[in-house]
């Protein structure tokens, strides 16, 4: 592993572009951690507030006892323990928000208000505070009271209905996709809100970030299409209802390639590379609309060509012809990929819990020429920074000991 991946070390003193922006992260699991993951990679001072003893539930997503999700998505963050169900814990939080620019939470709507910690209370303490409120269905509307989980949102949004094959049940994604998408939107919205404060001397805002609306926004113009066609698209696997040819094809050696030739010029290159140039002017395939309507005829032609050759042969033929075909790679192949290694898409970082003392994970995204992200520290232990952060409030070691004995921290 370490022989093929870019080997990096954490640098706590690295210069970072978001230095000075401080974020309190009260969230658990994926969505909130994705918001703050992006911010932390670029240098925001993200402080996780975790339940004493057990911490963020993301820590429980383990592989052979290693909290892999936590290590990847909570790198570059700090951790303090604090029980917000206790009065003293809530009092401490109100003191902390005076020193921070952003607060992120994903409790069921109404929970902060029940604790006397609603945005009005928080922003009375700090009028410049941006409060990111993540929930399944949003803070308003008829479902605001419902608990929301990514799987439910992926089902309700239309994603599951369009994913999979028509003769089989709808398929949920094998990852926390709705949470991840919401997290990316959330990170962007934080920067918009912070800019309003920093550049225009504005007030803090409340960001109502549902899991539902972000995933809905990336599924294409399906509502617009339905309003015109009055049809509900069938699940078509890796085929497309809007472009053709597009699919995953098996090769002679049992491996697979993916193809997308949606542009007219690309389709023509594909046909020439396959030795089927006569199909370019065939009325059944002449335009993209023709190809979509007759894909039941076109797709088998492409599939037969791929099946007659190995994956390596297919890739060589289409690379020479400048056709958009790529290998279907699993994670083992990905980690051995020349492209991934040379690009540095995965990095190998120190870790105190793995047997090798190292752990691979994705590099920071995106790459910025003048203000790049930096790897500053590995994901923290529960309450690792209690002394540092609570010291800012003037709490002494004896006081912290009492708070710990009382279960507050």
The Cα-based distances of 315 to 144, 222, 247, 334 in angstroms read: 49, 33, 15, 16
Sheet with 130-135, strands from edge to edge, namely 77-81, 45-50, 22-25, 102-105, 130-135, 206-210
Q: Do 37 and 27 meet the contact criterion of CB atoms below 8 Å apart?
A: no
* Strand ranges (E), 13-148: 22-25, 45-50, 77-81, 102-105, 130-135
DSSP H or E run through 271 = helix 264-273
Q: What is the phi-psi region of residue 139: left when phi exceeds 0, alpha when psi lies from -120 to 50, beta otherwise? A: alpha
Which of 187, 170, 174, 179 has the alpha carbon at shortest distance from 214?
179
Q: Report H helices in 42-176.
A: 68-73, 87-96, 111-114, 119-125, 150-156, 159-162
Q: What is the phi-psi region of residue 254: left when phi exceeds 0, alpha when psi lies from -120 to 50, beta otherwise? A: left
In angstroms, rounded to a whole number, what is the distance separating the alpha carbons of residues 336 and 383? 37
Q: Do 5 and 335 meet the contact criterion of CB atoms below 8 Å apart?
A: yes
Which of 65, 82, 74, 71 has the alpha carbon at shortest distance from 383?
82
Q: Do 97 and 164 meet the contact criterion of CB atoms below 8 Å apart?
A: no
Which of 31, 147, 80 has the alpha carbon at shortest distance from 381?
80
Q: Which residues are catalytic?
A: 179
Which position has the token pair 């790529």?
326
* Strand-strand pairing, 77-81 and 45-50: parallel
Length of the chain: 409
In angstroms, rounded to a whole number, what is the distance separating the alpha carbons of residues 285 and 271? 11
Three-state secondary structure call for residue 98: helix
């Amino acid at each position: 592993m370490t022989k093929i991946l870019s080997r990096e070390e954490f640098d706590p003193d690295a210069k970072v572009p978001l230095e000075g922006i401080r974020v309190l992260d009260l969230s658990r699991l994926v969505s909130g951690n994705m918001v703050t993951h992006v911010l932390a990679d670029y240098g925001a001072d993200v402080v996780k507030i975790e339940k004493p003893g057990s911490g963020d539930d993301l820590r429980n997503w383990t592989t052979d006892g290693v909290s892999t999700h936590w290590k990847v998505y909570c790198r570059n963050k700090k951790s303090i323990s604090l029980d917000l169900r206790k009065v003293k814990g809530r009092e401490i939080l109100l003191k902390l928000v005076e020193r921070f620019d952003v607060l992120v939470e994903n409790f069921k709507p109404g929970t902060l208000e029940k604790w006397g910690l609603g945005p009005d209370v928080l922003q009375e303490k700090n009028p410049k505070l941006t409060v990111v409120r993540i929930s399944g269905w949003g803070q308003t509307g008829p479902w605001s009271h419902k608990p929301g989980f990514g799987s439910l949102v992926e089902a309700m949004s239309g994603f599951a209905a369009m994913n999979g094959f028509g003769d089989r049940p709808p398929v949920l994604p094998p990852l926390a996709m709705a949470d991840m998408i919401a997290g990316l939107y959330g990170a962007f919205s934080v920067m918009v809100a912070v800019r309003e404060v920093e550049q225009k001397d504005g007030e803090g805002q409340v960001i109502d970030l549902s899991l539902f609306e972000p995933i809905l926004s990336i599924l294409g113009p399906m509502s617009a299409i339905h309003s015109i066609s009055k049809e509900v698209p069938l699940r078509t696997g890796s085929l497309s209802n809007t472009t053709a040819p597009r699919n995953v094809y098996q090769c002679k050696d049992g491996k697979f390639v993916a193809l997308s030739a949606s542009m007219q010029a690309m389709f023509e290159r594909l046909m020439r590379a396959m030795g089927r140039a006569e199909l370019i002017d065939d009325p059944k395939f002449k335009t993209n609309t023709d190809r979509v309507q007759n894909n039941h005829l076109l797709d088998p032609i492409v599939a037969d060509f791929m099946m007659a050759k190995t994956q390596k042969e297919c890739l060589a033929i289409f690379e020479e012809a400048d056709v958009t075909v790529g290998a279907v790679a699993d994670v083992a192949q990905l980690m051995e990929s020349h492209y991934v290694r040379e690009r540095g898409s995965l990095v190998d970082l120190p870790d105190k819990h793995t047997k090798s003392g190292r752990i691979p994970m994705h590099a920071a995204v995106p790459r910025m020429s003048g203000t790049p992200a930096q790897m500053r520290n590995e994901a923290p232990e529960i309450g690792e920074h209690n002394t540092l952060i609570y010291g800012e409030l003037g709490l002494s070691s004896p006081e912290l000991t009492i708070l710990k004995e009382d279960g507050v921290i």
